[in-house]
């Protein structure tokens, strides 16, 4: 697997900078933190079981200073082969990815890795509910969008050269929400909307 500079969701300098600019009464909370709190909220209330997957690490060296502890002394971040979050809600399989962007009019597609797109395609084929949660940091706008739209724009890249998803697509096909009370990221509302639409 390829080594990468900054893994998704890792507390990198870039993310810390973005966090400080999303401080709208949420004390500079990152999108990841907001989702983790929402997961916890849904879990505690018995509404859904969703966890963030651990960051994949390539371990090179491990020391055993004593019998009770293993200490990793050399390791690297690996590129995740799936999305960051998955779980179960009323028997439905949920799968999503979170992205923050400082762009005001579009989400650059280089926020995604090819295998993440491929994973979303595979999940949709297995009738999983798969979507992205996007924070337009400078606009203070939050959206959820079905993975099928992301895949569509990903595939358009090779055809028309467009390397982003316009914010208008989020406005017309997505689900906009304002993080206020818990759950800050009310993704189950969006999932309910998808289920209602699909069962029509």
Q: How far is CA 96 from the centre of its chain?
A: 5
Nearest to 30 by CA among 167, 184, 174, 165: 184
Q: Is 198 annotated as a binding residue?
A: no
Instruction: Rule CB under 8 A: choose which of 14, 90, 152, 163 binds a copy of itself.
Output: 90
Q: Which two three-digit tokens encode residue 70? A: 């293993």
Give CA angle at 91 (87, 97), nearest 5°: 30
Considering the rule CB under 8 A, would residue 93 count as an interface residue with a copy of itself?
A: yes
Question: Which span (25-33, 124-132, 158-166, 181-189) binds a copy of itself, by CB under 8 A?
Answer: 124-132
Considering the rule CB under 8 A, would residue 127 count as an interface residue with a copy of itself?
A: yes
| C-beta separation of 95 from 123 below 8 A | yes
Distance CA 168, CA 84 (A): 25
Q: Which secondary-structure segment (H or E) carries 159?
A: helix 147-160
Using CB under 8 A, which residues numbered 51 to 70 contact a copy of itself? 51, 53-57, 59, 67-70
Q: Which two three-digit tokens encode residue 52? A: 């963030």
Considering the rule CB under 8 A, would residue 87 count as an interface residue with a copy of itself?
A: yes
Considering the rule CB under 8 A, would residue 86 count as an interface residue with a copy of itself?
A: yes
Instruction: Rule CB under 8 A: choose which of 22, 30, 31, 77 binds a copy of itself.
Output: 77
Distance CA 17, CA 28 (A): 10
Query: Nearer Cβ to a copy of itself, position 135 or 146?
Result: 146
Q: Which residues bind a copy of itself (CB under 8 A)?
A: 3, 5-6, 43, 46, 48-49, 51, 53-57, 59, 67-78, 80-82, 86-93, 95, 119, 122-123, 125-128
Residues at the annotated binding site for Mg(2+)?
A: 82, 84, 97, 116
């Amino acid at each position: 697997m390829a080594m990468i500079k900054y893994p998704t969701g890792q507390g990198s300098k870039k993310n810390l900078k973005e966090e400080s600019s999303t401080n709208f009464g949420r004390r500079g909370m990152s999108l990841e933190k907001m989702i983790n709190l929402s997961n916890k909220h849904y879990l505690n209330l018995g509404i859904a079981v969703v966890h963030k997957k651990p960051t994949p690490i390539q371990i090179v060296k491990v020391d055993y200073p004593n019998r009770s502890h293993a200490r990793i002394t050399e390791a690297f971040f690996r590129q995740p082969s799936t999305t960051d979050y998955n779980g179960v809600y009323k028997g439905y399989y949920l799968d999503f990815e979170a992205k923050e962007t400082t762009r005001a009019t579009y989400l650059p597609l280089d926020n995604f890795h090819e295998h993440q797109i491929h994973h979303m395609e595979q999940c949709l084929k297995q009738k999983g509910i798969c979507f992205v949660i996007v924070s337009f940091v400078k606009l203070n706008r939050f959206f959820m969008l079905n993975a099928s739209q992301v895949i569509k724009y990903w595939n358009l890249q090779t055809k028309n050269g467009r390397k982003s998803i316009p914010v208008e697509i989020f406005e017309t096909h997505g689900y906009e929400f304002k993080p206020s009370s818990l759950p800050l990221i009310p993704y189950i509302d969006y999932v309910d909307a998808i289920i209602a639409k699909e069962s029509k």
